[in-house]
Amino acid sequence: MKVLVTGGAGFIGSFLVERLVGLGHQVVVIDYLTRGSRENLSRIVDSIDLIEADVSEDKVVDIALEGCHIAYHLAGMSQVMTSVRQPDLCFKYNMVGTYKVAKACVAKQVKLVFTSSREVYGNIERLPATEDDKLMAVNPYGASKIAGESIIRAYANTYDLDFVILRLANVVGPKDFGRVIPILLKQCLVNGPLTLFGGHQILDFVGVLDVIEALIQTQDTSGVTVNIGSGVGVNIVDLANLLKRLTGSRSEIVFADRRQEEVERFTTDISLAQKLLGWKPKTSLEDTIKWVIKSGITS
Ligand SMILES: NC(=O)c1ccc[n+]([C@@H]2O[C@H](COP(=O)([O-])OP(=O)(O)OC[C@H]3O[C@@H](n4cnc5c(N)ncnc54)[C@H](O)[C@@H]3O)[C@@H](O)[C@H]2O)c1
């Protein structure tokens, strides 16, 4: 198969591209290299077609999609706090970009797999979150993902777009940077302070290789929106202590004010993923963190 991966030079995208190449697929990547890099693809860069371009610009996706059977759309602004600082860019990349991808997929009759986020739920009261819960995003990033999902479902209803949407929880693995685990790990390694905002957060972490399996397993399913996570809630203080233990760090935990833009508590219900995709996570958080430490911290 010929496969398009937007955002394929990023953290999750580069693991997906490696896996697809390993399965023998021909892979085209569109990446603007805002957060992603060629280095992330260094092991397979000669086997793929890498287009350095912005998916929200006209014609970019249409040209890249030529001859493709499936498009994985991962490109976009991927961090909450960046979206708070740059909401215009967030909506351009995530909303307009997703609209351009959906439109091109309809025109070329290509299946679209979209990585949405647990941020669409915001601070819902009853956990774990199921796919039928209300979407109550509390930051521009979450709102842009709700918009992206809505565009895709509207295109499916109106123009017969074949799609799968995965709502990812917090993804963990090597090559990531600027998110809670790589930031805290970096501090652990220099015995620096571990700053926790609020200190009461509950997060749901899933290993990147488990996410890649879920993305691959979407190929036999259509027209569904599915949560992908571990289903396990991890308290942020317990996480900090786990990171200290695994690195042998003498770091101290310090508390700062809670950030209003961030979701306070989240765990995901993964029963639909088990039922529709035959998927469940195989790796524990502790093993994934050990792998990250062994691979070297990039942040
Ligand atoms: N990492 C997580 O915990 C997580 C959780 C939920 C959802 N997601 C979603 O999964 C996808 C991949 O996330 P990631 O962690 O690999 O993020 P990432 O930032 O590492 O990767 C995104 C990639 O998209 C590229 N990009 C950004 N805007 C672009 C544009 N307009 N045109 C072309 N390329 C562009 C970046 O250069 C980067 O390589 C994103 O859509 C993100 O919102 C990630």
List, edge to edge, every strand of the sheet that includes 2-6. Answer: 49-51, 26-30, 2-6, 70-73, 111-117, 163-168, 224-228
Residue numbers of the domain that contains 35: 2-171+206-229+268-281
Look at residue 150 and tell me if it is in a domain. yes
Query: What is the per-residue pLDDT for 298?
Result: 58
State how far the Cα of 17 lies from the Cα of 19, in Å rounded to an integer: 5
Query: What is the per-residue pLDDT for 296?
Result: 85
How does pLDDT run across 57-92, given as a tens digit for each residue?
A: 999 999 999 999 999 999 999 999 999 999 999 999
Look at residue 258 and tell me if it is in a domain. no
Whether 98 contacts 146, CB under 8 Å: no
Look at residue 17 and tell me if it is in a domain. yes
Better pLDDT: 158 or 297: 158
Instruction: Indicate if 141 belongs to the active site.
Output: yes
Look at residue 114 and tell me if it is in a domain. yes
Which residues 6+ apart lie within 8 Å of 158 measured at CB?
none
Pocket of ligand 1 (CB under 6 A): 6-7, 9-13, 30-36, 54-56, 74-76, 78, 93, 97, 115, 117, 168, 170-171
State how far the Cα of 72 lies from the Cα of 238, in Å rounded to an integer: 34
What are the structure tokens assigned to 232, written together?
């396990």
Look at residue 193 and tell me if it is in a domain. no
Q: Residue 246 Cα, ligand 1 centroid: separation in angstroms?
A: 28
Look at residue 183 and tell me if it is in a domain. no
How many structural domains comprise the chain? 1
**Position 297 pLDDT exceeds 90:** no
Query: What is the per-residue pLDDT for 9?
Result: 98
Look at residue 253 and tell me if it is in a domain. no
Whether 231 contacts 128, CB under 8 Å: yes
For the chain, percent of residues with pLDDT exceeding 90: 98
pTM of the model: 0.98
Look at residue 292 and tell me if it is in a domain. no
Q: By C-alpha distance, which of 137, 144, 140 is closest to 85?
A: 140
CATH number, residue 24: 3.40.50.720
DSSP state, 94?
Answer: I
